[in-house]
């Protein structure tokens, strides 16, 4: 399938029947059943990624890559991307999709958010990952490990109510958080049922994203 992100068209393979993945997971309790779904927040975040003024030679890690749309947008914007997911099939799919879009050397990493990772990146990207409050602390722990000291973590969120809990937890642990809407305009409070881009850093940030 072809997805238009801003002025760019992205070629994307997706599972033919994502509902079958959900049914399989319900029967077997095997893995993450949601990786095969192309969530709306990923498209909105990808458009934001293409608009941002990235610095040369920056590296990025996409957490929970699924089919890899956000990471592909980052690659098209000039970043060197590593796609990661808990599900090996998702990582394989993201790498194939990256190759379809002119990124044949893209890396993949099977990564459990609850475990440690020794690699570090300039930018961490994640889309629609705040749906379960029990994963908020593991996400914060992992981001602290994989993001360089002056790096930035961007999260695309569709306006889930759990986002406020995540923001409070991040603030308590010393993260500096700025919120933006889909047009990259700063907003004060987290939204409900509307896309928002969370920008997290460990150092003071301005009102300009990235």
Cβ atoms of residues 203 and 172 within 8 Å: no
Helix (H/G/I), strand (E/B), else coil: 87: coil
Question: What is the phi/psi pair of residue 144, to 5°?
Answer: -60, -30
Q: What does each of the 210 residues of the chain score in pLDDT, given as a tens digit?
A: 898 898 899 999 887 665 555 554 544 445 566 677 778 899 999 999 999 999 999 999 999 999 999 999 999 999 999 999 999 999 999 999 999 999 998 999 999 999 999 999 999 999 999 999 999 999 999 999 999 999 999 999 999 999 999 999 999 999 999 999 999 999 988 888 899 999 999 865 545 666
pTM here? 0.89
């Amino acid at each position: 399938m072809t997805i238009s992100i801003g002025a760019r068209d992205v070629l994307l393979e997706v599972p033919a029947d994502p509902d079958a993945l959900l049914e399989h997971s319900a029967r077997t309790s095997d893995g993450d059943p949601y990786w095969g779904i192309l969530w709306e927040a990923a498209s909105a975040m990808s458009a934001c990624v293409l608009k941002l003024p990235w610095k040369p030679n920056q590296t990025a890690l996409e957490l929970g890559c699924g089919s890899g749309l956000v990471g592909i947008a980052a690659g098209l914007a000039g970043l060197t991307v590593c796609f990661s997911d808990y599900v090996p099939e998702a990582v394989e799919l993201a790498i194939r999709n990256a190759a379809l879009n002119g990124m044949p050397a893209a890396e993949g990493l099977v990564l459990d958010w609850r475990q440690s990772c020794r690699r570090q990146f300039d930018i961490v990207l994640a889309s629609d990952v705040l749906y379960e409050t029990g994963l908020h602390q593991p996400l914060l722990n992992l981001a602290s490990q994989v993001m360089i000291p002056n790096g930035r973590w961007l999260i695309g969120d569709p306006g889930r109510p759990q986002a406020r809990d995540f923001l409070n937890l991040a603030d308590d642990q010393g993260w500096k958080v700025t919120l933006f809407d889909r047009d990259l305009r700063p907003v004060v409070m987290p939204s409900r049922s509307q896309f928002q881009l969370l920008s997290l850093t460990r150092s003071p940030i301005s009102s300009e994203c990235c």
